[in-house]
Amino acid sequence: MVGSIFGLSEYPVTVFLTSFLNFASAMTKKISKVVVLGTGGTIAGWAPDPDQTRQYRAGEVAVDDLVRGIKPSGLQIETEDVARIDSKNMGWSEWQRLVARLAHWLAQEEVRGVVVTHGTDTLEETAILLHALFPSGKTIVITGAMRAANVSEPDGPGNLKDALAVASAPGRAGVLGVFAGQVHAAASLTKLDSQALSAFASADPVPIAVAIQNLDALQARFARQPTHPVDLDVAEFGRVSYWPRVEMVHNHAAQDGGLVRTIMSTDGKPAGWVVAGTGNGTMSQGLEDALSEAQQQGAWVWRTTRCTWGQVQAQSGDRFGLVSPLNPYKARVVMVLALLANAVKRRGPERPGP
């Protein structure tokens, strides 16, 4: 089913997965537990009328019910609902809870990997957060769906099945996204399509069947992409009670920087700005001047691009930090973590970038 839905006829996915899971179960008689943490999203969505596929509520179905229908034999699976939300509402308190539960389960020797089910809308932000906090340990797979659980031909079961296969494979791959038959590096996956079942893209996607043959090699391959380590550990993250305010601003035609100046003149002004620049992270003179003033007031400023592909090249005389190739949304998450790390370590004044 997976192969035909996603047009991967060159990869006999179903056959491969079946034999792989038999192999995995033989190899892992002692330690083969995978934990599935639910956070909600469309994968856990419920449509009152299954024929009205666009009319559903996200996060209605318990993760245990999502797993029940597809439980592969030979795998011990534990489930836990960490949240039951539409991921448009994902926030720091949900992330704190998710990180704590991940840390708990990953510390258990018998747990081979963890799957996180998530809404697609902010999936990439959660992926970069987890990538920053759990850089290279046991496999954490984040997945979701574009169709609610009870509509005809839902994509969630296939994605979840693939996610379980990746999370239970021997080896360690750090944080991965699994969607529509492909495995994506957490740092580069992006939701590019608001409707299609294959909603995600990344710099170097790998078919599921290839990825599960050698997770260690997959991790080495993805590690070649630029990463953005943050000097903040999971325990420190768990103790945070104040989240620095970081705002995003886009460059666009007729951008005069007025928004930045207005916000910087308010109480509780941001500790940082991420610029979604045009093209190579460029910005109008007005925006650059306004952000320079913000920087003089102590705000961090990082520039990235509003383009989906390509990187932002450094320029001589750059006065702002560079976070390419992270998109602005991910850069914002990383900046909050870097600000927290800075505060926790009492490092003093701004570093220009991660």
Helices (H), the chain: 2-5, 13-27, 63-68, 92-106, 123-133, 156-168, 208-211, 215-223, 234-239, 258-264, 285-296, 328-344
For residue 195, the minimal CB distance to ligand ASP (Å) is 10
Torsion angle defined by CA atoms of residues 236, 239, 240 and 241, in that order, rounded to the nearest 10 degrees:
-170
> Is the CB of 58 or the CB of 331 nearer to ligand ASP?
58
d(CA 203, CA 124): 13
Q: Does 87 bind ligand ASP (CB under 6 A)?
A: yes
d(CA 152, CA 181): 19
> Is the CB of 125 or the CB of 288 nearer to ligand ASP?
125
Q: Does 181 bind ligand ASP (CB under 6 A)?
A: no
**DSSP letter string, 276-306:** EEBTTTB--HHHHHHHHHHHHTT-EEEEEES
Q: Does 86 bind ligand ASP (CB under 6 A)?
A: yes
- Secondary structure letter of residue 113 according to DSSP: E
- Other CB atoms closer than 10 Å to residue 348's CB: what's the count? 7
For residue 43, the minimal CB distance to ligand ASP (Å) is 6
Q: Does 121 bind ligand ASP (CB under 6 A)?
A: yes
Site for ligand ASP in 217-236 (CB under 6 A): none
The answer to whether 320 and 301 have CB atoms below 8 angstroms apart is yes
Could you tell me which stretch among 86-94, 225-233, 250-258, 294-302 binds ligand ASP (CB under 6 A)?
86-94
Site for ligand ASP in 11-40 (CB under 6 A): 40
Beta strands 33-40 and 190-191: pairing type? Answer: unpaired
> Is the CB of 88 or the CB of 319 nearer to ligand ASP?
88
| Closest to 236 (Cα-Cα) out of 140, 343, 129, 333 | 343
d(CA 71, CA 2): 15
The answer to whether 300 and 248 have CB atoms below 8 angstroms apart is no
> Is the CB of 29 or the CB of 54 nearer to ligand ASP?
54
Could you tell me which stretch among 117-125, 166-174, 204-212, 213-221 binds ligand ASP (CB under 6 A)?
117-125
Could you tell me which stretch among 81-89, 124-132, 217-225, 255-263 binds ligand ASP (CB under 6 A)?
81-89
Could you tell me which stretch among 84-92, 154-162, 287-295, 332-340 binds ligand ASP (CB under 6 A)?
84-92
For residue 47, the minimal CB distance to ligand ASP (Å) is 13
Q: Does 158 bind ligand ASP (CB under 6 A)?
A: no
- Return the residue of 88, 252, 319, 347 that touches ligand ASP, per CB under 6 A: 88
* Site for ligand ASP, rule CB under 6 A: 40-42, 58, 86-88, 119-121, 144, 146
